[in-house]
Amino acid sequence: MKNYSFLILFLTISCFTVKAQVVDVESFSAKITELPKATLLDVRTSGEFGGGHLPKAQNIDFRSDSFAQEIDKLDKSQPVLIYCLSGGRSAQAAEVMRAKGFQVTELQGGYLKWTTKMKPLEGVPAVKHDAAWSLTDFEKLVKDNDSVVIDFYAKWCAPCLKMMPFVDKLAGEFKGKVTVLKVEADGNQSILQAYGIDEIPSFIVFRQGKLLQKTSGFREEPKLKELFVQATGTIQ
Protein backbone atom coordinates (compact mmCIF):
# COMPACT_ATOMS: atom_id res chain seq x y z
CA MET A 1 0.00 0.00 0.00
CA LYS A 2 2.86 2.36 0.90
CA ASN A 3 4.57 1.60 -2.41
CA TYR A 4 1.32 2.32 -4.26
CA SER A 5 0.93 5.67 -2.48
CA PHE A 6 4.53 6.56 -3.27
CA LEU A 7 3.93 5.75 -6.96
CA ILE A 8 0.87 8.01 -7.07
CA LEU A 9 2.86 10.83 -5.43
CA PHE A 10 5.74 10.34 -7.87
CA LEU A 11 3.44 10.44 -10.91
CA THR A 12 1.69 13.55 -9.59
CA ILE A 13 4.99 15.36 -9.10
CA SER A 14 6.15 14.22 -12.54
CA CYS A 15 3.01 15.62 -14.16
CA PHE A 16 3.53 19.02 -12.52
CA THR A 17 7.19 18.96 -13.62
CA VAL A 18 6.29 18.26 -17.27
CA LYS A 19 3.68 21.04 -17.26
CA ALA A 20 6.24 23.45 -15.82
CA GLN A 21 8.51 22.72 -18.80
CA VAL A 22 6.02 24.31 -21.21
CA VAL A 23 5.69 28.00 -20.41
CA ASP A 24 3.93 31.05 -21.83
CA VAL A 25 5.63 33.91 -23.65
CA GLU A 26 6.23 36.08 -20.60
CA SER A 27 7.75 33.21 -18.60
CA PHE A 28 9.88 32.15 -21.56
CA SER A 29 11.11 35.72 -22.02
CA ALA A 30 11.97 35.88 -18.32
CA LYS A 31 13.94 32.63 -18.56
CA ILE A 32 15.98 34.00 -21.45
CA THR A 33 17.00 36.89 -19.18
CA GLU A 34 17.51 34.74 -16.08
CA LEU A 35 19.54 32.06 -17.90
CA PRO A 36 22.09 33.91 -20.09
CA LYS A 37 24.12 30.72 -20.66
CA ALA A 38 21.10 28.68 -21.77
CA THR A 39 20.89 27.45 -25.36
CA LEU A 40 18.05 29.23 -27.15
CA LEU A 41 17.08 26.74 -29.84
CA ASP A 42 14.88 27.32 -32.90
CA VAL A 43 13.93 23.97 -34.46
CA ARG A 44 12.16 25.34 -37.54
CA THR A 45 13.55 25.03 -41.06
CA SER A 46 16.41 27.30 -42.13
CA GLY A 47 13.95 29.12 -44.41
CA GLU A 48 11.61 29.85 -41.53
CA PHE A 49 14.55 30.89 -39.36
CA GLY A 50 15.70 33.23 -42.14
CA GLY A 51 12.38 35.02 -42.01
CA GLY A 52 12.99 36.13 -38.45
CA HIS A 53 13.78 34.55 -35.09
CA LEU A 54 14.23 35.26 -31.42
CA PRO A 55 17.40 37.28 -30.70
CA LYS A 56 20.56 35.14 -30.41
CA ALA A 57 18.68 31.91 -31.22
CA GLN A 58 20.51 28.94 -32.71
CA ASN A 59 18.84 27.03 -35.54
CA ILE A 60 18.74 23.22 -35.83
CA ASP A 61 15.96 21.91 -38.06
CA PHE A 62 14.06 19.20 -36.14
CA ARG A 63 13.07 17.45 -39.36
CA SER A 64 16.56 17.39 -40.82
CA ASP A 65 18.44 14.08 -40.97
CA SER A 66 21.25 15.55 -38.88
CA PHE A 67 19.12 16.75 -35.95
CA ALA A 68 20.27 14.05 -33.53
CA GLN A 69 23.92 14.57 -34.40
CA GLU A 70 23.67 18.36 -34.10
CA ILE A 71 22.02 18.38 -30.67
CA ASP A 72 24.67 15.98 -29.40
CA LYS A 73 27.14 18.84 -29.89
CA LEU A 74 25.26 21.03 -27.39
CA ASP A 75 26.27 21.42 -23.75
CA LYS A 76 24.02 19.21 -21.61
CA SER A 77 25.10 21.04 -18.46
CA GLN A 78 23.20 24.12 -19.66
CA PRO A 79 19.38 24.39 -19.94
CA VAL A 80 17.75 24.55 -23.36
CA LEU A 81 14.97 26.99 -24.24
CA ILE A 82 13.25 25.66 -27.34
CA TYR A 83 10.62 26.85 -29.81
CA CYS A 84 9.23 26.31 -33.32
CA LEU A 85 6.42 28.00 -35.25
CA SER A 86 3.50 27.08 -32.99
CA GLY A 87 4.73 24.39 -30.60
CA GLY A 88 4.29 21.09 -32.44
CA ARG A 89 7.81 20.42 -33.63
CA SER A 90 9.42 21.86 -30.50
CA ALA A 91 7.38 19.47 -28.34
CA GLN A 92 8.69 16.51 -30.33
CA ALA A 93 12.23 17.86 -30.32
CA ALA A 94 12.05 18.48 -26.56
CA GLU A 95 11.01 14.87 -26.00
CA VAL A 96 14.03 13.66 -27.95
CA MET A 97 16.36 15.99 -26.08
CA ARG A 98 15.01 15.10 -22.64
CA ALA A 99 15.64 11.44 -23.44
CA LYS A 100 19.25 12.42 -24.10
CA GLY A 101 19.55 14.14 -20.74
CA PHE A 102 18.88 17.78 -21.62
CA GLN A 103 16.89 20.08 -19.35
CA VAL A 104 14.38 21.63 -21.78
CA THR A 105 11.78 24.37 -21.50
CA GLU A 106 9.32 24.85 -24.37
CA LEU A 107 7.71 28.06 -25.56
CA GLN A 108 3.95 27.51 -25.56
CA GLY A 109 2.50 28.68 -28.86
CA GLY A 110 5.95 29.06 -30.42
CA TYR A 111 7.13 31.87 -32.68
CA LEU A 112 3.56 32.78 -33.61
CA LYS A 113 2.59 33.47 -30.02
CA TRP A 114 5.88 35.33 -29.41
CA THR A 115 5.15 37.70 -32.31
CA THR A 116 1.56 38.34 -31.20
CA LYS A 117 3.01 39.63 -27.92
CA MET A 118 5.25 42.02 -29.90
CA LYS A 119 8.41 40.56 -28.39
CA PRO A 120 11.83 41.41 -29.90
CA LEU A 121 12.99 39.66 -33.07
CA GLU A 122 16.07 39.68 -35.25
CA GLY A 123 16.82 38.64 -38.81
CA VAL A 124 13.45 39.80 -40.15
CA PRO A 125 13.86 40.70 -43.85
CA ALA A 126 12.65 44.07 -45.06
CA VAL A 127 9.76 43.01 -47.32
CA LYS A 128 6.35 44.47 -48.00
CA HIS A 129 3.73 42.11 -46.63
CA ASP A 130 0.31 41.47 -48.09
CA ALA A 131 -2.72 42.74 -46.21
CA ALA A 132 -3.69 40.57 -43.26
CA TRP A 133 -6.92 38.59 -43.33
CA SER A 134 -9.73 38.94 -40.83
CA LEU A 135 -10.29 35.48 -39.32
CA THR A 136 -14.06 35.99 -39.47
CA ASP A 137 -14.02 37.01 -43.16
CA PHE A 138 -11.61 34.21 -43.99
CA GLU A 139 -13.71 31.50 -42.35
CA LYS A 140 -16.81 32.85 -44.12
CA LEU A 141 -15.08 32.45 -47.50
CA VAL A 142 -14.17 28.85 -46.64
CA LYS A 143 -17.78 28.08 -45.73
CA ASP A 144 -19.32 29.95 -48.67
CA ASN A 145 -17.31 28.13 -51.35
CA ASP A 146 -17.76 24.46 -52.26
CA SER A 147 -14.15 23.76 -53.19
CA VAL A 148 -11.28 25.54 -51.44
CA VAL A 149 -7.50 25.17 -51.48
CA ILE A 150 -5.65 27.26 -48.89
CA ASP A 151 -2.00 28.10 -49.50
CA PHE A 152 -0.03 29.12 -46.39
CA TYR A 153 3.21 30.81 -47.44
CA ALA A 154 5.81 33.44 -46.61
CA LYS A 155 7.82 35.75 -48.84
CA TRP A 156 11.06 34.59 -47.24
CA CYS A 157 10.21 30.90 -47.77
CA ALA A 158 12.09 29.55 -50.81
CA PRO A 159 9.86 26.46 -51.33
CA CYS A 160 6.78 28.70 -51.09
CA LEU A 161 8.11 31.05 -53.76
CA LYS A 162 9.09 28.14 -56.00
CA MET A 163 5.56 26.73 -55.83
CA MET A 164 3.74 30.05 -56.28
CA PRO A 165 3.78 29.89 -60.11
CA PHE A 166 2.30 26.37 -59.89
CA VAL A 167 -0.42 27.63 -57.57
CA ASP A 168 -1.25 30.52 -59.89
CA LYS A 169 -1.28 28.27 -62.94
CA LEU A 170 -3.59 25.74 -61.29
CA ALA A 171 -5.83 28.52 -59.98
CA GLY A 172 -6.35 29.57 -63.58
CA GLU A 173 -6.86 26.00 -64.77
CA PHE A 174 -9.48 25.34 -62.08
CA LYS A 175 -11.10 28.79 -62.29
CA GLY A 176 -14.78 28.53 -61.43
CA LYS A 177 -14.23 25.13 -59.82
CA VAL A 178 -11.77 25.78 -56.99
CA THR A 179 -11.32 28.88 -54.83
CA VAL A 180 -7.70 29.52 -53.88
CA LEU A 181 -6.98 31.46 -50.69
CA LYS A 182 -3.41 32.60 -50.07
CA VAL A 183 -2.42 33.27 -46.46
CA GLU A 184 0.91 34.95 -45.76
CA ALA A 185 2.22 33.61 -42.44
CA ASP A 186 3.51 36.99 -41.32
CA GLY A 187 0.61 39.00 -39.96
CA ASN A 188 -1.93 36.16 -40.03
CA GLN A 189 -1.02 34.37 -36.82
CA SER A 190 -4.66 33.98 -35.78
CA ILE A 191 -5.49 32.06 -38.95
CA LEU A 192 -2.43 29.82 -38.68
CA GLN A 193 -3.31 29.02 -35.10
CA ALA A 194 -6.98 28.43 -35.95
CA TYR A 195 -6.02 25.89 -38.61
CA GLY A 196 -3.16 24.31 -36.67
CA ILE A 197 -0.45 25.33 -39.13
CA ASP A 198 3.01 24.88 -37.62
CA GLU A 199 5.11 24.76 -40.78
CA ILE A 200 5.17 26.42 -44.17
CA PRO A 201 4.57 25.87 -46.97
CA SER A 202 1.31 24.17 -46.02
CA PHE A 203 -1.92 23.48 -47.87
CA ILE A 204 -5.43 22.68 -46.67
CA VAL A 205 -8.22 21.33 -48.89
CA PHE A 206 -11.90 21.86 -48.10
CA ARG A 207 -14.89 20.41 -49.93
CA GLN A 208 -18.32 21.76 -48.94
CA GLY A 209 -16.94 22.88 -45.60
CA LYS A 210 -15.35 19.49 -44.84
CA LEU A 211 -11.60 19.23 -44.29
CA LEU A 212 -10.25 16.71 -46.80
CA GLN A 213 -6.50 17.23 -46.67
CA LYS A 214 -3.81 19.03 -44.72
CA THR A 215 -0.25 18.78 -45.94
CA SER A 216 3.04 20.61 -45.61
CA GLY A 217 6.30 20.81 -47.52
CA PHE A 218 7.27 21.38 -51.14
CA ARG A 219 5.16 19.71 -53.84
CA GLU A 220 5.92 19.52 -57.55
CA GLU A 221 3.13 20.68 -59.87
CA PRO A 222 1.59 17.21 -60.46
CA LYS A 223 1.37 16.57 -56.71
CA LEU A 224 0.00 20.05 -56.13
CA LYS A 225 -2.62 19.46 -58.81
CA GLU A 226 -3.86 16.45 -56.86
CA LEU A 227 -5.03 18.84 -54.13
CA PHE A 228 -7.06 20.84 -56.64
CA VAL A 229 -8.60 17.70 -58.09
CA GLN A 230 -9.43 16.51 -54.58
CA ALA A 231 -11.14 19.83 -53.83
CA THR A 232 -13.49 19.31 -56.78
CA GLY A 233 -14.60 15.99 -55.32
CA THR A 234 -13.15 13.94 -58.17
CA ILE A 235 -10.91 11.97 -55.82
CA GLN A 236 -11.14 11.43 -52.05
Distance CA 128, CA 167 (A): 21
| Catalytic position from the list 57, 94, 148, 157 | 157
d(CA 128, CA 47): 18
In whole angstroms, what is the distance from residue 176 CA to residue 153 CA? 23
Among residues 54, 71, 160, 197, which one is catalytic?
160
Buried b or exposed e, range 163-191, using 16+ CB within 10 angstroms? bbebbeebbeebeeebbbbbbbbbebbbb
What does the DSSP 8-state code read for residue 104?
E
**Active-site residue, 15 included:** no
Active site residue 84: no
Catalytic residue numbers read 157, 160
